[in-house]
Amino acid sequence: MPDIGTHESQDSNVWLKVSSAQLPRLPQYLPFSHPHAPPSPEGHTASSSSSPPLSPGPYNPHHARHAPKPPAPRRRASPPPGPRTRNLRKPEETNEVRKRHACYHCRIRRVKCDAEDICGKCQNECKKVGCHLPQKSCIRRTLSETLGPVVRRWSWKEFAMPIREQFRAERSSVWIDFSEDAYSSPLHLTVGAFTPQGWPAGDLLPLGIVPNEGPSDQSIYNWVSGQIATENLGTFESRTFESLIEGLLCDYVDNDCLQRAVNLERHGLDNKQRVFVQTQKVLMRNLRNMSCMWKLWSSDQLFHRLDDVDGAATRPFHEGLQSVHAWLRLSAEQAMSTLERDILRDMDSYLSPIEIRHQDKPILASSVHVAMWISMWQIILIYRQSLSHAYAGPLWMRDKQDKQDKFWETTEHLFNGVVVIYSALFRTRNVLENLRDASLEAFGNDKRLQLAFQQAWAAHSEFYLDVGDRYSSTDSLFKSHIIAKEESIFGRKRQVRKGL
């Protein structure tokens, strides 16, 4: 672990004396910012060993994660004596920026931030894209810090689950589907009848899932991703951008597309790049699982059949199955709360993105951009949809009002955070065009995946129009920093409208 205190004071000293244009390449940072770790094995959460930051910002998420309270030199009672005393031109300002951390925009763009409530760079950016809420776009806390220490963030609905003693001895089977005419395999559940407290004698008993007899998370993932794959078979025209991204992510992860693409890179990968790819793979697997659980969590209506044979009648869940629905929702909540924490921790590495030059390693650069683009979109869409869902949801689950408000507030912050990261990562015409034209090799020579990506790309301008036409109090940053910005880069707003 490098001495963060020393690192910071060197940073700030250099920072004040050179122009921002020179900052990214300063060798002084590198010895401190290479926590070289060997590539982690598959399945291991590789966050701690992700990309070393090249940004000049004084804040380093890796360090912060492992050493939440580093001894800060600024707290010293008196300055060190003799030659070590530094001649800072504006020490108060430096301390202030250090204390507040450089903002997302400045970190990703590797430019100098300042200590204003809204830094100068963000003020300019907001003017450029017509953003009316610059205070929301100049963000300094990492995604993990924004999430905070809360354990079960997604559980803000309440439903009493039956205990084992309330169940009768007999068990039966039901098969669960997402829709009435599902073509994918249903989820098999073992259920039992139970007697809720104060249940009138003689009334039909509801069905529920006996504690420890429910399906595993893995079987839920398999079921939902099967459903997503079936929806993928529909015609392209009938599908929304959201469902195209969801399908693309599942397919991309299940076919290990990033690894296959990276294997084609003729110039090989250095250690830092291997670590990044590994982290990105873990991140995408977690995101895929989160998107499966999100689909389950947000479905207000499930369907069931009592037989697994073809042609068995599929019916909407009735009153007597509410407990089963609640159980599935609770499983989704638990899984999502954990997955989200891992995802955001890994996504914080996007705040100090590794630099891969297209000229040097074209396949690696393209495939990493594609992977980050898919990941950013999936998390943006989950947050955007949950904001519109947060005050809806099934009536039979009672809201815990304060938890719900907190959920809303945190989700809005996270949504704006990922929007700002996206807009800073994909900020130039060059990057966006390279992405759009990503070669077949960037998909590991998988034509089907390249086509799925191109379809998602093609659908996103339609999606922008749709979002642009709707009023939503939470879409403000999304509209200015992503939609307006990309439209100005490509100048396509009017053309698309005319083409409709």
Q: Out of 4, 23, 46, 122, name the contact with Zn ion by CB under 5 A.
A: 122
Under 8 Å between Cβ of 112 and 23: yes
Instruction: Determine, following the binding rule CB under 5 A, whether residue 106 of this chain makes contact with Zn ion.
Output: yes
* In the complex, least distance from residue 109 CB atom to Zn ion, rounded to whole angstroms: 9
Whose tokens are 């690894």? That residue is 259
**Residue number, 63 or 109, with CB nearest to Zn ion:** 109
Q: Out of 23, 108, 129, 138, name the contact with Zn ion by CB under 5 A.
A: 138
**Quick check: helix, strand or coil at residue 3?**
coil
**Residue number, 119 or 459, with CB nearest to Zn ion:** 119
Looking at 136-144, 228-236, 248-256, 277-285, which segment touches Zn ion (CB under 5 A)?
136-144
**Residue number, 113 or 182, with CB nearest to Zn ion:** 113
Q: Out of 119, 253, 283, 425, name the contact with Zn ion by CB under 5 A.
A: 119
* In the complex, least distance from residue 76 CB atom to Zn ion, rounded to whole angstroms: 27
Got the DSSP string for 157-186? Answer: EE-PPPPGGGB-S--EEEEEESSTT--SPP
- Is the sign of the CA dihedral 38, 43, 44, 46 positive or negative? positive
Looking at 35-43, 100-108, 147-155, 425-433, which segment touches Zn ion (CB under 5 A)?
100-108
The span from the CA of 459 to the CA of 232, in Å, is 14
**Residue number, 103 or 228, with CB nearest to Zn ion:** 103
Instruction: Determine, following the binding rule CB under 5 A, whether residue 121 of this chain makes contact with Zn ion.
Output: yes
**Residue number, 60 or 455, with CB nearest to Zn ion:** 60
**Residue number, 214 or 417, with CB nearest to Zn ion:** 417
Instruction: Determine, following the binding rule CB under 5 A, whether residue 424 of this chain makes contact with Zn ion.
Output: no
Q: Out of 23, 54, 108, 113, name the contact with Zn ion by CB under 5 A.
A: 113
Buried-exposed string 166-198: b where 16+ CB fall within 10 A, e elsewhere: bbeeeeeebbbbbbeebebebbebebbbbeeee
Looking from the CA of 304 toward its CB, the CA atoms found within 13 Å total: 17
Nearby residues of 399 by Cβ (< 8 Å), 6 or more positions away: 156, 157, 158, 393
Q: What does the block give as tokens for 133?
A: 């809420």
Instruction: Determine, following the binding rule CB under 5 A, whether residue 420 of this chain makes contact with Zn ion.
Output: no
Instruction: Determine, following the binding rule CB under 5 A, whether residue 332 of this chain makes contact with Zn ion.
Output: no
* In the complex, least distance from residue 32 CB atom to Zn ion, rounded to whole angstroms: 21
* In the complex, least distance from residue 210 CB atom to Zn ion, rounded to whole angstroms: 52
Site for Zn ion in 454-493 (CB under 5 A): none
Which of 147, 124, 153 has the alpha carbon at shortest distance from 137?
Answer: 124
**Quick check: helix, strand or coil at residue 213?**
coil
Which backbone phi and psi does 126 adopt, to 5 degrees?
-65, -40
Residues that bind Zn ion (CB under 5 A): 103, 105-106, 113, 119, 121-122, 138
